[in-house]
Amino acid sequence: MQKLGLLLALALLPCCRSVTGERPADTPSFELSLSAPTVSLAAGGSVEIAAQVTAAAGCTDAKSANVTVTAPSSVTVTGVTPPAGRAAGGTNVTISGTGFQSGATVTFGGAAATNVVRVGATSITATTPAHAVGTVNVVVTNPDSSSGTGNNAFTYVAQQFDPNNDGVIDPADIFYLVNYLFTGGPAPIGPAGMLSGDANGDGVVDPADIFYLVNYLFTGGPAPMAVPAQPRSAAAPISGSVTLGDAVVRNGRTFVPVIVTASPMPHALSLRVRVDGPAEVVAIRRVGAARDVEPIFETSRRTNDGIGYLVSFAGEALAGTVAELEIAAAPGAVVELDLDPSVTMLTDQRGMRKSTVGNGLLRLGGTMLGRGRAVPKPDHLQN
């Protein structure tokens, strides 16, 4: 308050100079009195302050000013998830912060976001607008005009899909995702973080993204995260089962069939077999109808507790017994074989329609080996 009074006093001094005849360069002495030396105001309150100056020569003058207190904005933007997306826009994001009100608007680099939904005072979901490549500020503005800014909170990239962050889309991305999903390798590290591994645009990273990428690289399918993102197919969803059947012994070696039943017939299979007991999976091989059909892509990976396997076909080959596992087990050992529900799935060739335990369209069945014979486990829905 003293600072305000001093400013008023300085505004009064020219009047005193005109009376006393002091030169402008002189510094006159004066007495300052305030009508309210100390004032407490709530946010939005105001008060009139009067200041009176008496110069050494005896001249007196007074002025007043209104003081209004404006509360600092309580709106903050602390983060955006994912932190990056395609320059074409269309990325669904969650904005974190404080002070968000119903009816708030969001801009990315000055461009208005769409589908803005206030989840709560600390969270908003929205869809990014198109913008030039680069890093932008994200601003949340409330209906009362208060706003908060996340500086450099979102990055627009030319290509969102790039799991290994090397700037190109090639088979190395396939193996990067295989390593991540099946052997515990590093998660996608591209500009969009985890979603740098989302090839088919469904918001998750799973084997369907590998099949989408295989379809693009080897058969001329759509590019990952094409603009606009590929729509979900209107065709009937794939529904079926993947089951480990009764083991058979041939020439002293034990084999467990992999049986697929589904409608409509899928074109791609992903599975991970987990072994519980003193045994290991030696190999997995195509058999039955799948044996004589050349796949678009096929790979297997040993894991710390079993094996992972992916195969995709241009034609219809995934029906009945499609593969078999060779198992090496100690004589008489009790061994349980299960399918991992997180990565076992059936999809179409493009990886757009998928049957999984998570979406309720896939049943999994394991099996058990023991006491020198194979004992099938009943089909069950694994969660």
Average pLDDT over residues 291-318: 92
pLDDT at 196 > cutoff 80: yes
pLDDT at 247 > cutoff 60: yes
pLDDT at 10 > cutoff 80: no
Q: Specify the CATH architecture of the domain 162-231.
A: Orthogonal Bundle (1.10)
pLDDT at 78 > cutoff 80: yes
Name which residue leads in pLDDT, 224 or 45: 224
pLDDT mean across residues, the chain: 83
Average pLDDT over residues 45-64: 66
In the chain, where does the domain assigned CATH 2.60.40.10 lie? 76-157
pLDDT at 292 > cutoff 70: yes
N-terminal to C-terminal alpha carbon distance within the chain: 67
CATH number of 239-376: 2.60.40.680
Please enumerate in sequence order all residues whose Cβ is within 8 A of that of 335, keeping only pairs 6 or more positions apart, or say none.
275, 276, 277, 278, 279, 327, 329, 368, 369, 370
pLDDT digits (tens, 9 = 90+) for 221-239: 888 865 444 455 556 889 9
pLDDT band at residue 367 under the 50/70/90 scheme:
very high
In the chain, where does the domain assigned CATH 2.60.40.680 lie? 239-376
In the chain, where does the domain assigned CATH 1.10.1330.10 lie? 162-231
Which phi-psi region, left, alpha or beta, contains residue 201 (left: φ > 0; alpha: ψ -120 to 50)? left
* pLDDT score, position 246: 92
pLDDT digits (tens, 9 = 90+) for 145-194: 999 999 999 988 877 889 998 888 988 899 999 999 998 999 999 877 88
Angle at 344 between CA 82 and CA 317, to 5 degrees: 120
* pLDDT score, position 296: 93
pTM (predicted TM-score): 0.62
* pLDDT score, position 32: 54
Average pLDDT over residues 11-32: 48
pLDDT at 144 > cutoff 80: yes
- Assigned CATH class of 76-157: mainly beta
pLDDT digits (tens, 9 = 90+) for 199-221: 988 888 999 999 999 999 988 88
